[in-house]
Structure 1
């Protein structure tokens, strides 16, 4: 099984109660999902956190595929009252292993070639690269690099559609006519 790294977007910033529930939920006991909390009184601080960052969960999940990993967290996050997944994305900053997840294990060999992008930062012995720079270099080297892995695209679009449909009054017939499978 592979470990997949991605950012899951949730419908709202976590409340202290939701953060506590997530911290004590057996489904997240392995520490594979982390979050950022804003201060209780953000108006008391000159620099407020970006509200979009407070709706992000950083995920490192073991699963057979990226789609399976996203599905697992999206399902489990509903165990926390009031939270649901509404999207998913990859970050630009990656380790070489994360970049290899996106384009294949041959990246480790390619990274030794002249002109491969240098790491942007290093922390505790781990080097971090820009995915955009790696993708540009791979494209110049004649490799086909999808902008987004298909599994990520499917998961993101499905979560966004589910979010739009949440509480909407759409008939099963309309959903079927749009090509969506209905149980």
Structure 2
């Protein structure tokens, strides 16, 4: 199994009640999924949280594939009343291992490439991070094929967006079947 890192966007920011349910849900007890909870009265604070972060989960999931990892969190988040996943993305900040996973190379071969991008600034002894955007640009410049969006990420994102849209529409089961989609009934 591999560990897959991604950001899962929710249909809404977590409320205090949903955060409490999340904190007490066995599916999230291992700490592999985290959230940012905004203050109850944001106008009373000098520093404001980015509103987008309040609707996102940071995920580091062990699974056989990226799609399996996304599906696991998307399924588990539905255990919290009122929440569901609406999209998924990769973060730009990556470790060398995450970068290697995204480009189907190993860490050693990446680090050995002449001109490989420098790590992002950070405190001595801390985990070393890189900009995925810079790594992808570099790899493309030396002839590697690195898609703007990895295929599994694009598929997972499209499926989550479609599922979210279908929840807001009244679509007949026959129409869903004709489109090749499950209807939830045998």
**Superposition TM-score tier, normalisation by shorter sequence:** over 0.9
Q: Which residue in the other structure is 2:80 paired with?
A: 80
Structure 2 portions without partners, runs of 5+: none
Give 1:106 shift. Answer: 2.9
Contact 2:21 2:80 in 1 (8 A): yes
Partner of 1:145: 146
Shift of 1:179: 4.0
SS of 1:70's equivalent in the other structure is: helix
- Tell me what 1:38 maps to: 38
In 2, the alpha carbon distance for the partners of 1:147 and 1:108 equals 23
Moved >4 Å (runs of 4+): none
Distance 1:168 1:19 in 2: 28
Aligned pairs (5 A) from 1:8-157: 8-123=8-123, 124-157=125-158
TM value normalised by structure 1? 0.93
TM-score, normalised via structure 2 length: 0.92
* CA displacement 1:147-167 (0-9 Å, x = unmatched): 222111111100001111113
Partner residue in 1 for 2:5: 5
**Residue segments in structure 1 that go unaligned for 5+ positions in a row:** none
Does the residue aligned with 2:86 lie in a helix, a strand or coil?
strand
Secondary structure, counterpart of 1:121 in structure 2: coil
Cα RMSD over matched residues? 1.5
Deviates more, 1:116-125 or 1:155-164: 116-125
Moved more, 55-64 or 13-22: 13-22
Q: Retained in 2: the 8 A contact 1:96–1:108? A: no
Distance 1:57 1:108 in 2: 30
